[in-house]
Amino acid sequence: MEKTYISFTEEMKKDYTVLIPNMLPMHFELIRRVMKNYGLHAELLQTQGQKIKDTGLKYVHNDTCYPAILVIGQFIDALESGKYDPHKVALILFQTGGGCRASNYINLLRKALAKAGYAYVPVISFSLAGIEDHPGFKLSVPMLHRLMYAIFYADLLMSLRNQCRTYELRKGESEELALAWTERLSKEMKHEKKLSYKRVKENYRLIIKDFKDIPRVEKKCPKVGIVGEIFVKYSPLGNNNLEEFLVSEGAEVVVPGLLDFCLYCLYNYLMDTKLYGIGKAKEPILKLAYKFLLGKQRDLIDIINEDGNFDPPTPFDHTVSLISGYLGIGAKMGEGWLLTAEMLELADKGVPNIVCTQPFGCLPNHICGKGMMKPIKEKNPNINIVAIDYDAGATAVNQENRIKLMLANSK
Amino acid sequence: MTETKKTPYSLGIDIGSTTAKVVLTKNGTVVFEKYERHMSQVRQKTLELLGQIEPYITDNEFTVALSGSAGLGLAEAAGIPFVQEVFATGELVKELCPDTSAVIELGGEDAKIIFFDGGTDERMNGTCAGGTGAFIDQMATLLDVTADEMDELSLKHSKTYPIASRCGVFAKTDIQPLLNQGARKEDVAASIYQAVVNQTIAGLAQGRKIKPKVLFLGGPLYYCQGLRDRFRETLGFSEEDSPCPEYARFAVALGAAIYAARVGHTTTIGNLIDSVNKNINVGTVSGRLPALFDSEEEYREFSERHKRASVKEQNISAYSGNAYLGIDCGSTTTKIVLLSEDKKILYSFYDSNRGNPVEIVKAQLEKIYSLTGDRIKICGSAVTGYGEELIKHAFGVDLGIVETIAHYTAAKYFMPDVDFILDIGGQDIKCFKIKNGAIDSIMLNEACSSGCGSFIETFAKSMGYSIDEFAKRGLFSKAPVNLGSRCTVFMNSSVKQSQRDGATVEDISAGLSVSVVKNAIYKVIRAASASELGEHIVVQGGTFYNDAVLRAFELELSRNVIRPAIAGLMGAYGAALCSMKLEQSSIITPDALKDFSHTSKSTVCRGCTNNCHLTVNIFSGGEKFISGNQCEKGLGITNASEPLPNLHAFKRDYFSSLESRDGARGTIGIPLALGMYELLPLWHTLFSELGFKVVVSDLSTKRTYEKGQFSIPSDTACYPAKIMHGHIEELAEKGVDAIFYPCLTYNIDEKYSDNHYNCPVVAYYSELLNGNMDTLANTKFLYPYLNINNKRELVRELMAYLNENLGSFKRSEISRAVKKAFAKYDEYMSAVKREGESAIDYARAQGKRIMILAGRPYHIDPEIGHGIDKLAASLGFVVVSEDSVYHLAEPARVAVLNQWTYHARLYRAARFAAENADVQLVQLVSFGCGVDAITTDEVRTILESSGKFYTQIKIDEITNLGAVKIRLRSLIGALEQ
């Protein structure tokens, strides 16, 4: 097939700045640093504000999902900001593929770039499927290894920060600690030739200890879980700083980690084989990878439990088991069954208050989000879910008012 | 402020989106209450109401709490405890009326339902369905009555029309044409309420049964008897079942007072006024837009520049000779122009329809005749706009002109080298590019962008301003608010946000202008820069009388444009110009006009299963005009000539003619919806071969939708999905043993696209049905995940699934059934292609136009497609579908991931249209189809790259075909140039 995109070349790697959209602040910061260790001048976009939406609306079909409008808007806004030489910039987009329209983000981004006069800006598709050819951006095994631990680390940091944040005596301390650890971990990964798992586990323990030492008040706060479409679930840009809002309302925020999503993607490949007989050749190795990650998650859970001060993540195989009776495991577009499973997972671990976030008109969420509320409520009468739509035209006051209603009823 | 002291007094303040309510209680008894509109002056109104309380409370301490969406910001700023309004209502009802089963509360913006029995569940409407009270206000404005008058009218209704209940914008799109077609205001008023009822029940109860006793709360329900009636009739409740208590308007405020007493935050009125006062001007101006004008000077230059674009006028009393009449009967306004022989304006008229354009035109004709006397002879007349046919029939107007042509004719006269025209009227936004003296492409707004123009006006009125005054105020706003551009429902709710942030009327007015302009540029035109439009841009339509809109447009494009002084009259002016080719007019004579009378009645056409709601207009002399029909049958015309080939009809017939035989193994119900509109032959054959009697649900009607609408959990899903609920209900009623609709992640692989997915909704809707439809608790529902691209694999899957769920099956019989099933599917697909080819041959032999009415397979459903195929056929098109012609072109190159089977066909069909001069493509897009946000741009690119017109029709529950007709006629008009 004819190549229709611009490759990111070895040459470009020398002096190009690679921009990363702000989807998962903590995870992407760590990932950025890992990339930097491998010679990429990566920068995580921290821009906020109305201008991003406006730029997105200008260059993307307005009925496209909100995350596309934001991601593309943030990129073009950065190119137009004058802060960078557009001829020395590349963009990176994380792709999972699948039947959701989100698989088209990269194409929509390229179309928008052309429309805005930046057709020459290379876009790197970061995908484990690795369909595109970008010689300047090759995922080597040691790099992948580090990226994997970056996800584990960031999930842990995010979770502990959330568990401390609402109770900290000095405002901002948890966040600062998480950031300090992000820096320390990335430095460490750079200097160590070989990443020792023993060291990783040691780090888990040190991180837990540090968070434990943050002076906190004892108070009873409602726990509020956040689930939803991956971008609006995690990105403060996408969800109008939802986590911060919940904390300011006195809630403890519980956000399932990114590892769940990665495992979900892997699991779907296995299900394609099981349900449809597709991809039999790759099955053994994917199965191995799944088991491998599951084991790593188990280790992390054990270490958190060993300390006993914090809530660990739910083992993924348990999360999977929760959806039986609600939704088929084959519903795999977008966040698919994982969305339903995460609501059940939260309820299962005593977090009955949930904000289910979705971009306005999100197709998979009709089914796996809003479509599952009724059965979830029927079988878990104690649950308290509010579905919030995010959109360029949706108002924060409407969203906050609904969240306040959920909080007023919180358990 | 001091806290936690015992006091008998408690104050509840509820500031909603449109009204402010205060209630002062002493030992639980109301001492003072007040309900007033705040006209967006949230803080000022609060202060005013607090001032009124002062005499009742004097220096006594009291507890206080604030509630309401617009009160959120004030509570924060003034340090008053805040209680969420639905929560406050719930607390109140638990205390005052503990035997209540559910509460329905409608406010200005939000609708809420609270269920009490079986665990309290408090719900608010979704984003899309915003604006209940505000919607009723706007509709009253549309009918040119007050909200009270509308209520009275509704009580005298004799029928209700189906009106889209998704949101205010869609409802308005249905209502506007009804008015223009002469429907009775009484019936329209009741229909408006019915739309609110349907929206509330479907959108909020979502399948949970509403049982008595229900409390009706909130302003709209308190004031509108007609609205309560509609609710009661729909729910089947008596007045005792569903009281609307005296405190209905104050429920939230009262709840807040109770909450206040519980929290115990005390203050005195002086302190409270102080703390509100202190914060009165604390508005955040972050995220605001730049001012429209930086100085008076700039505005003066702007005004001077636009003054130059004027038209010559002539005093009618000084003129004698021939004259030409143009009428533009638009969605909200009627415009009339009388031209002299040398194209000077003798007379012009521009005003609101007041919900009855016939009366307006009649009065104007009387006036014109009194002015023309015997000196002036009207030699030609033409009418354009929504009311074209009605007015044409009523007054014997000579010509009916397509809107686009009328507007272009006027603009061209005004500016011969015009290459881009943007017209923003009350309801529609129309843009056309002109190339080589002909219309090159047309862009019309889709349903969601409707009503932007008239929205500013109705909004101005709701805030107590005339449109002129409101526009003027916007010009000098220092910091216009950003209200988004999705649709007027979203804009309306953004206003609420801006109120919280302390925005002024000036800022809101300017902000609305910018929003309307952005909607036109980024949603309708889809342009990112001025260069994509043209060199010589003419803007027109009544909305451009608003200088703020004009300025916002120039700023957004960074380019000066021309606004003719008669911007609002351009349609009428163009129509008059078109009529100048005539010599003798058939328009009603002054004598006949004296006796002119007009009555209208409504009826339902029984010509076919569509059951179109017709409005029959009868004029003096017995002339009749029928509207609301989707085909000729409603007009009493039986098809004399042979009908044109219509692939949509062919496919429908094919599905209806699939024969079922009795089966020993029982009955299997298959819903004819979504993907079944293609795979039915396959599954039908499979189950028949396995020994089942297959029962297929009927083609949809409105009733199908209504039957299932109460179990729909996500109101923003597409109509084709939502109608599925009705099909399931129907099958369950028929008493089938099991219902089958499989989950198909992957659709048929036609081996030329990047992948072959179904969209998430088609793929997994069964999961949603299973989770939300109580009916399915009593009927076996089969929705296995299957692979239909590998027969052996499918046999394996069916073997496991069927043996587990339906009985005992041998591999050999499943294998044989699968084989036959695919043979039938292939036969069907080939038949469609063959029929497509022969339709094209027929059209070419007979010299007919060919239209690919393209969408998804399920768009052929009569209720989903609203009979647009028949309408197109009645306009002379041979109608083919995308799946009947896509094989006639090579796969299209697209700039996106081509990963859905249906959409890959769409691109290929577009390529076929692009390659064939006599083929047009019209794309049907269902509201909420996220995937089409991607396909529409691509299809448009494919068509326009070879100089073709791109026409998109967004469809949903909306039944009125007025807007569709205009789109198709615009296409014909442009083709005929």
Interval B676-722: pLDDT, tens: 999 999 999 999 999 999 999 999 998 999 899 889 988 889 999 99
Q: Which residues are bridge partners to B658 per DSSP?
A: none
Measured between alpha carbons, how far is A14 from A10 in angstroms, rounded to an integer? 7
Q: Is A278 on the interface with B (CB under 8 A)?
A: yes
Poorest-pLDDT segment among A238-252, B60-74, B286-300, B610-624: B610-624
Is A277's CB within 8 Å of B122's CB?
Answer: no
More confident residue, A397 or B152: B152
**Rg, Å, chain A Cα set:** 21
- Cβ-defined contact of B768 to A371 (cutoff 8 Å): yes
Please report, as a single letter, which amino acid is at residue B851.
M
Query: Do residues B764 and B837 both lie within one domain?
Result: no
Q: Is A393 in Cβ contact with B490 (below 8 Å)?
A: yes
Q: How confident is the model at residue A307 (pLDDT cuts 50, 70, 90)?
A: very high
The answer to whether position B636 is within a domain reads no
Is the same domain home to B668 and B789?
A: yes
Residue span of the structural domain in which B769 resides: 649-828
Please count the other Cβ atoms lying within 10 Å of the Cβ belonging to residue B475.
21
pLDDT of residue A1: 43
For residue B55, is it within any domain? Answer: yes
Residues of A in contact with B758 (CB under 8 A): 99
The residue from B828, B851, B872 where one domain ends is: B828
For chain B, the 3-state helix, strand and coil shares in percent, each to the nearest 5, are 50, 20, 35
Give how far B721 is from chain A: nearest CA, Å: 10
Q: Which residues of B touch A377 (CB under 8 A)?
A: 121
Chain B residue numbers touching A363 (CB-CB < 8 A): 759-761, 930-931
Model confidence band, residue A130 (pLDDT cutoffs 50, 70, 90): low
Chain A nearest CA to B762, separation (Å): 10
| DSSP assignment of B773-839 | -GGGGSSEEE--B--TT-HHHHHHHHHHHHHHHT----HHHHHHHHHHHHHHHHHHHHHHHHHHHHH
What is the predicted pLDDT for the residue at B609? 67
Cα distance between residue B297 and residue B306, in whole Å: 14
Which residue, chain included where needed, has tokens 């495991």? A329
- Across residues A303-318, what is the average pLDDT? 96
Q: How far is A44 from chain B (nearest CA, A)?
A: 23
Contact A400 B72 (CB under 8 A): yes
What one-character DSSP code corresponds to residue B757? B
Q: Look at residues B797, B739, B744, B805 and name the one whose alpha carbon lies nearest to residue B770.
A: B739
Q: What's the angle, vertex CA A159, arms to CA A157 and CA A163, rounded to 5?
A: 115
What is the nearest CA distance from B66 to chain A, expressed in angstroms? 13
Query: Which segment of A2-6, A276-280, B221-225, B491-495 scores lowest on mean pLDDT?
Result: A2-6
CA-based angle B565:B568:B571, to the nearest 5?
Answer: 115
* Secondary structure letter of residue B558 according to DSSP: T
pLDDT number for residue B108: 84
Whether the pLDDT of residue B76 is over 90: the answer is no
Say if residue B410's pLDDT is above 80.
yes
Distance CA A59, CA A116 (A): 7
What pLDDT sits at residue B770? Answer: 96
Task: Give the mean model confidence (pLDDT) for residues B927-941.
Answer: 92
CA B925 – CA B697 distance, rounded (Å): 24
Within 8 A of A366 by CB-CB distance, chain B residues are 713-714, 716-717, 721, 760-761, 768
B146 or B841, greater pLDDT: B841
For B25, the enclosing helix (H) or strand (E) is strand B19-26
Rounded mean pLDDT, B368-391: 91
Residue B277 has pLDDT above 90, yes or no: no
Instruction: Indicate the pLDDT class of residue B501, thresholds 50, 70 and 90.
Output: confident
Q: What is the mean pLDDT of residues B488-510?
A: 84
Residue of A269, A265, A260 lying closest to A301 (CA atoms): A260
Q: Is residue B45 located within the same domain as residue B131?
A: no
- Work out the average pLDDT over B109-117: 88
Q: Which residues of A touch B763 (CB under 8 A)?
A: 99, 331, 333
Q: Which of B673, B835, B829 is nearest to B748 (CA)?
A: B829
Residues B657 and B747 in one domain: yes
> With an 8 Å Cβ cutoff, are A405 and B87 in contact?
yes
- CA-based nearest residue in chain B for residue A109: B896
CB contact under 8 A, A99 and B83: no
How confident is the model at residue B613, as a pLDDT?
75
Q: Do A367 and B899 touch (CB under 8 A)?
A: no
Compute CA distances B629 → B158, B161, B602, B615, B625, whole Å: 20, 13, 12, 9, 11
What's the longest Cα–Cα distance across chain B? Answer: 95
Position B621 in a domain? no
For residue B635, pLDDT over 70 is answered with: no
Residue B768: its chain A contacts at CB < 8 A? 366-367, 371-372
Does B126 contact A393 at a Cβ distance shorter than 8 Å?
no
CB B220 within 8 A of CB B132: yes
Q: Are residues B863 and B715 in the same domain?
A: no
* Nearest residue to A366 (alpha-carbon basis) of B532, B772, B533, B53: B772
* CA distance, residue B191 to nearest chain A CA (Å): 27
Per-residue pLDDT, averaged over A68-95, amounts to 95
Pick the residue of A269, A397, A410 with the most B CBs within 10 A to test the interface with B by mutation: A397
Beta-carbon contacts of B652 under 8 Å, excluding residues fewer than 6 positions away, are: B699, B860, B861, B862
Residue B959: other Cβ atoms inside 10 A: 23
Residue A333: closest CA among chain B residues belongs to which residue? B760
Give residue B502's Cα distance to chain centre: 30
Per-window interface: A 84-103 vs B, CB < 8 A: 98-101, 103
Rounded distance between C-alpha atoms, residue B428 and residue B441, angstroms: 16
Cβ-contact B638, B672 below 8 angstroms: no
Contact B287 A49 (CB under 8 A): yes
Q: Which residue of A has its CA nearest to B765?
A: A367
Cα–Cα distance measured from residue B213 to residue B220, given in angstroms and rounded to the nearest whole number: 19
Among A104, A369, A409, the residue with its CB nearest the CB of B896 is A104
Q: Is A181 exposed, middle or buried (0-12, 13-18, 19+ CB in 10 A)?
A: buried
CATH number of A10-138: 3.40.50
Query: Chain B residues with CB inside 8 Å of A127's CB?
Result: none
Q: What is the pLDDT of residue B283?
A: 54
User: In angstroms, rounded to a whole number, what is the distance separating the alpha carbons of residues B824 and B845?
Assistant: 31
- Using a CB-CB cut-off of 8 Å, the residues of chain A touching B897 are 103-104, 107
Helices assigned H by DSSP within B847-949? 868-874, 882-885, 901-915, 932-944
Q: What is the DSSP string of B182-208?
A: T--HHHHHHHHHHHHHHHHIIIIITTP
Residue B130's closest chain A neighbor by CA?
A: A398
CATH number at residue B112: 3.30.420.40
Asked if residue B535 and residue B442 are part of one domain, the reply reads yes
Q: How confident is the model at residue B38 (pLDDT cuts 50, 70, 90)?
A: confident
Between A357 and B58, the more confident residue is: A357
**Shared domain check, B865 and B816:** no
| CA proximity to B106, closest of B70, B131, B72, B137 | B131
* Chain A residues closer than 8 Å to B533 by CB: none
CA distances from B819 to A143, B666, B823, B825, B949 (A): 49, 21, 6, 10, 43
- Looking at the fold, whether B800 and B909 belong to one and the same domain comes out as no
Identify residue A137 by its one-letter amino acid code.
F
pLDDT, averaged across chain B? 89
Backbone φ and ψ for A156, nearest 5 degrees, come out as -65, -45
Residue spans of the domains in chain A: they are 10-138, 221-411
Question: B486 to each of A53, A193, A377, B918, how far by Cα in Å?
Answer: 12, 52, 32, 35
Q: What local confidence, expressed as pLDDT, does residue A324 receive?
A: 94
pLDDT more than 90, % of chain B: 60
Domain finish residue from B800, B828, B856: B828
Query: Residue range A99-114: average pLDDT?
Result: 90
Is the CB of A361 less than 8 angstroms away from the CB of B928? yes
For A:302-321, CB contacts with B below 8 A are none
The amino acid present at B715, given as its one-letter code, is: D
Both B921 and B775 in one domain: the answer is no
Task: With respect to residue B942, please indicate whether it lies within any of the assigned structural domains.
Answer: yes
Contact B760 A99 (CB under 8 A): yes
Structure token pair of residue B1: 């402020």
* Calculated CA dihedral for residues B709, B710, B713, B715, nearest 10 degrees: 50
CB of A128 within 8 Å of a chain B CB? The answer is no
Instruction: Based on the fold, state whether residues B122 and B154 are members of the same structural domain.
Output: yes
Beta-carbon count within 10 A of B437 CB: 12
Assess whether pLDDT exceeds 70 at residue B131: no
Give contacts of B526 with chain A, Cβ < 8 Å: 61
What is the model's pLDDT at position B130? 61
Q: Which residues in chain B have their CB less than 8 angstroms from residue A2's CB?
A: none
Distance from CA of A263 to the nearest CA of B (A): 19
Nearest by CB: A404 against B84, B484, B768:
B84
pLDDT at B280: 59
Closest C-alpha to B70, from B508, B578, B681, B619: B508
Closest CA to B554 of B530, B534, B523: B530
Q: Does A282 touch chain B (CB under 8 A)?
A: no
3-state secondary structure of B931: coil
Angle between helices A25-37 and A173-191 (to 10 degrees): 20
In a domain, B635, yes or no: no
**Please, what is the average pLDDT of chain A?**
93
Chain B: closest CA distance from residue A146 (Å): 31
Chain A hits for B73, CB-CB cut-off 8 Å, are: 397
Q: Is the pLDDT of residue B3 over 50?
A: no
Separation CA B563–CA A148 (nearest Å): 60
Q: Which position has the token pair 């001025």?
A: B530
Which residue has tokens 């910061």?
A: A29
Question: For residues B701 and B927, what is the distance between their CA atoms, to the nearest angstrom?
Answer: 18
Query: Could you give the angle at the alpha carbon of A409 between the alpha carbons of A407 and B4, nearest 5°?
Result: 80
Instruction: Decide if A101 and B487 are in contact by the 8 Å CB cutoff.
Output: no
pLDDT of residue A147: 92
Q: Which of B744, B897, B940 to mutate to test the interface with A (most CBs of A within 10 A)?
A: B897
The reply to whether B895 falls in a domain is yes
Which of A57, A107, A363 shows the shortest C-beta gap to B897? A107
Given a cut of 60, is residue B623 above it in pLDDT? yes
Report the distance separating Cα B449 and Cα B307, nearest Å: 30
SS3 A388: strand
The reply to whether B332 and B442 lie within a common domain is no
Q: So what's the pLDDT on residue B2?
A: 42
> Taking 90 as the threshold, does the pLDDT of residue A398 lie above it?
no
Record: contact A100-B760, CB cut-off 8 A: yes
pLDDT band (50, 70, 90) for residue B638: very low
Number of domains making up chain B:
6
Residue of B nearest to A69 (CA): B933
**A394 inside 8 A of chain B by CB:** yes
pLDDT mean over B12-21:
90
Q: Provide, as residue numbers in chain B, all residues whose Cβ is less than 8 Å from the Cβ of A398.
A: 69, 109-110, 127, 130, 493, 496-497
CA distance B650 to B831: 10
Residues 6+ apart with CB under 8 A from B881: B647, B648, B651, B832, B836, B852, B853, B854, B857, B860
Interchain proximity B760–A64, CB inside 8 Å: no
Q: Which two tokens stand for residue B691?
A: 């020994």
| Residues of B in Cβ contact (< 8 Å) with A99 | 745, 755, 757-760, 763, 899-900
Question: Domain boundary at B206, B235, B264, which?
Answer: B235
Average pLDDT on B827-845 reads: 97
Nearest to B716 among A57, A275, A360 (CB): A360
Percent of residues, chain A, with pLDDT higher than 90: 81
Q: What is the pLDDT of residue B175?
A: 84
- Is residue B1 scored above 50 in pLDDT? no
Same domain, B681 and B774: yes
B601 in any annotated domain: no
The better pLDDT of the pair B34, B530 is held by: B34
A363 touches chain B (CB under 8 A): yes
Distance CA B958, CA B169 (A): 10
What pLDDT does A263 receive?
96
